[in-house]
């Protein structure tokens, strides 16, 4: 249905980040016009396609954001811009509430002023907290976040729902589980030097960029005692954003979607997979549990498949590790 639609200009906040920049590439491939708005606090301008317009700015600067929305006649927003490190959120909770919650409020106020009617929101499985009693987590599972990052995202979800009830704005909330890997053409991947995502850390260890990998807790109530997560390839998560945007453009009502493959891998299994594909054993150290970590988070993506027609294309842990390793090897020392 995309071919029959007029050209749509999409503002991507946080579009210089890991997931945002991959999504920008997909949007451009689908012939959308794209404006990236990012303060580069954690993003990289090098990750942004030269075919997109780039504006350096902070989403809390509502005056600038409103000006950009008006100048570029933005029709839809994909909102990534947020802080997202669970460990850091425990240490600096006020920064997470200030950045994530006030950032969304500013974006919604600017959107309302500009008449924007579609918004795709980047949320997180952290809103569910310790949902280890659920084999698969669907959208109806009770949301009880156990860290400030998860709470900030849940607050944003509720604000977005309240706002949509009183305005013309329709939204799609996408709750990521664990996004990993790199673009299959080798052009983009995780650029952060101080890695904290497990697959990224493991790739750095496999190439000797770091000396060891910590396992934070080996006494969780899982098969091998390490935390279990649903790892989804960055290419698949980027495509979900395109489908969510098309869903809204086609008139779909506001919805929330859990995004994963519906299968979990433990920390120990991920590290073993990286050692296998890299053919390099690296040192693994068991450390104490981190505050705010849930033992088990695995998505039920039935609703995503039913309403958006999404089909996973890269559901392969070894493949995720290979793409991350290839990018890390290319990216530099």
Burial-class residue 219 by CB neighbours within 10 Å (0-12, 13-18, 19+). Answer: exposed
Residue 131 or residue 295, greater confidence: 295
Distance separating alpha carbons of residues 136 and 178, to the nearest angstrom: 14
Q: What is the mean pLDDT of residues 258-266?
A: 96
Q: Annotated catalytic sites, by residue?
A: 149
- CA atoms within 13 Å, Cβ hemisphere of 173: 21
290-333 confidence digits (pLDDT tens): 887 888 999 999 999 999 999 999 999 999 999 999 999 987 65
193-211 confidence digits (pLDDT tens): 777 899 999 999 999 999 9
Q: What is the pLDDT of residue 251?
A: 96
Distance separating alpha carbons of residues 303 and 309, to the nearest angstrom: 9
User: In terms of DSSP bridges, do strands 178-180 and 33-38 run parallel, antiparallel, or are they unpaired?
Assistant: unpaired
Q: All domains of the chain, ordered by start, with CATH?
A: 8-181+232-260 (3.40.50.720)
Q: What is the pLDDT of residue 333?
A: 55
Task: With beta carbons less than 8 A apart as the criterion, state whether 136 and 83 touch.
Answer: no
- CA-wise closest residue to 120 among 266, 16, 20: 20
Give the pLDDT band of residue 171 (cuts 50, 70, 90). Answer: very high
Q: What is the pLDDT of residue 33?
A: 97
Which of 73-77, 98-102, 292-296, 312-316 has the weakest average pLDDT? 292-296
Give the pLDDT band of residue 1 (cuts 50, 70, 90). Answer: very low
Distance separating alpha carbons of residues 84 and 123, to the nearest angstrom: 10
Distance separating alpha carbons of residues 226 and 199, to the nearest angstrom: 15
**Triad 88, 92, 95: Cα angle to 5°:** 110
**CA-CA-CA-CA torsion sign (264, 233, 145, 85):** positive
274-290 confidence digits (pLDDT tens): 999 999 999 999 999 98
Indicate whether 95 pLDDT > 90: yes
What Cα–Cα distance (Å) separates residue 240 from each residue in 19, 78, 113, 120, 181? 11, 12, 28, 10, 16
Q: What is this structure's pTM?
A: 0.94
- H or E element at residue 258: strand 255-259
How large a percentage of the chain has pLDDT more than 70?
98
Q: What is the pLDDT of residue 177?
A: 94
- CA-wise closest residue to 293 among 100, 150, 83: 150
Q: What is the pLDDT of residue 34?
A: 98
């Amino acid at each position: 249905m995309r071919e029959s639609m007029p050209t749509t200009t999409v503002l991507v906040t946080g579009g210089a980040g890991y997931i945002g920049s991959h999504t920008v590439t997909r949007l451009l491939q689908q012939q959308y016009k794209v404006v990236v708005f990012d303060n580069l606090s954690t993003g990289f301008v090098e990750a942004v396609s030269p075919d997109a317009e780039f504006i350096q700015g902070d989403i809390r600067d509502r005056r600038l954001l409103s000006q950009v929305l008006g100048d570029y006649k933005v029709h839809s927003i994909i909102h990534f811009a947020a802080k997202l490190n669970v460990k850091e959120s425990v240490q600096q909770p006020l920064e997470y509430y200030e950045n994530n919650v006030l950032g969304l409020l500013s974006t919604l106020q600017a959107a309302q002023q500009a008449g924007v009617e579609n918004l795709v929101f980047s949320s997180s499985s952290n809103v569910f907290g310790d949902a280890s009693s659920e084999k698969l987590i669907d959208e109806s599972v009770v949301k009880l976040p156990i860290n400030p990052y998860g709470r900030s995202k849940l607050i944003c979800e509720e604000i977005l729902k309240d706002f949509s009830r009183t305005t013309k704005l329709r939204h799609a909330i996408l709750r990521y589980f664990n996004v990993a890997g790199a673009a299959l053409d080798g052009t983009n991947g995780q650029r952060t030097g101080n890695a904290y995502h497990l697959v990224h850390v493991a790739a750095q260890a496999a190439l000797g960029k770091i000396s060891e990998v910590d396992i934070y807790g080996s006494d969780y109530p899982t098969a091998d005692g390490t935390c279990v997560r649903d790892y989804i390839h960055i290419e698949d998560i980027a495509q979900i954003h395109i489908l969510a945007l098309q869903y809204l453009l086609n008139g779909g009502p506001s919805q929330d979607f859990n995004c994963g493959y519906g299968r979990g891998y433990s920390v120990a299994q991920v590290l073993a997979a990286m050692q296998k594909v890299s053919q390099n054993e690296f040192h693994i150290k068991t450390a104490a549990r981190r505050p705010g970590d849930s033992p088990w988070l695995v998505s039920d993506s039935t609703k995503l498949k039913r309403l958006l027609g999404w089909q996973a294309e890269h559901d392969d842990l070894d493949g995720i590790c290979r793409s991350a390793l290839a990018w890390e090897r290319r990216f530099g020392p």
